[in-house]
Amino acid sequence: MISTGLNQLLLGALLTTGFLASVSAEDCVTVAKEVDQPFAYPSATLAYTITVANPCDPEVGTGLFTDDFPAEVAQCTWDCSATGSGWCEVASGAGDIEQLISVPSGSSVIIDAVCTFSPSTGHECALNRAEFVTMDPDVLRTGIAQTCDWSIIIFLADFDSGNTSSWSETVP
């Protein structure tokens, strides 16, 4: 088995000499979604960074990027920027995102979003999913980030007493 470093070296050599027949988007295009707080209090400000990158597939260019923010986050605003020869159809906005972006080989698109965390009872976690579909609908990439309510439950010493009013306490 060849090591990862050697694989990358061989891939680079094949690309520069022209011997590589094709590299599929399955191997190259990625969507990474990060959130600055995996746990937060209600009303906290969450900062998301979504990166769509294409380091090596010459066949991928324009595609549809979507991010339907979950009900547990509100008042989202976002900015879109690109590196290399990539581009964003819309540079900034508010609310859900649905736009064309271009990530040709060697490019990336970065979307920074700021939202307010507003979980409701029974929905203490916000699972936020971003997707990029290339012009080849078989190539779909997804990035996911999750934030949960920081409140925790502590079981007190008399948990087994039968007195349910003192069984637990929610601590912010």
Mean pLDDT of the chain: 78
The sheet that has 73-83: what strands, in order across it? 30-35, 45-54, 107-117, 73-83, 92-94
At 138 the pLDDT is 72
Contact 40/147 with Cβ under 8 angstroms? yes
Strands 92-94 and 45-54: unpaired
Contact 63/133 with Cβ under 8 angstroms? yes
* Candidate CATH numbers 3.50.50.60, 3.20.140.10, 1.10.8.60, 2.60.40.740; the one for domain 23-171: 2.60.40.740
At 115 the pLDDT is 96
Q: Is 138 helix (H, G, I), strand (E, B) or coil?
A: coil
**Cα separations in angstroms, 50 against 11, 69, 151, 163:** 27, 13, 27, 48
How far apart are the C-alpha atoms of 18 and 42, rounded to whole Å?
54
At 60 the pLDDT is 86
Contact 134/99 with Cβ under 8 angstroms? no
At 66 the pLDDT is 95
At 79 the pLDDT is 98
Strands 92-94 and 140-149: unpaired
Contact 132/120 with Cβ under 8 angstroms? no
CA torsion, ordered 151, 153, 157, 160, to nearest 10 deg: 160
At 16 the pLDDT is 33
Using 50, 70 and 90 to split pLDDT, how confident is the model at 45?
A: very high
Using 50, 70 and 90 to split pLDDT, how confident is the model at 50?
A: very high
At 134 the pLDDT is 85
pLDDT tens per residue, range 16-30: 333 333 344 456 899
At 8 the pLDDT is 38
At 96 the pLDDT is 97
pTM over 0.85: no
Structure-block tokens of residue 78: 């976002």
pLDDT tens per residue, range 92-148: 999 999 999 999 999 999 999 999 999 887 788 889 999 999 877 677 888 888 888
Percent share of the chain, pLDDT over 70: 71
How far apart are the C-alpha atoms of 79 and 47, rounded to whole Å?
12
Using 50, 70 and 90 to split pLDDT, how confident is the model at 85?
A: very high
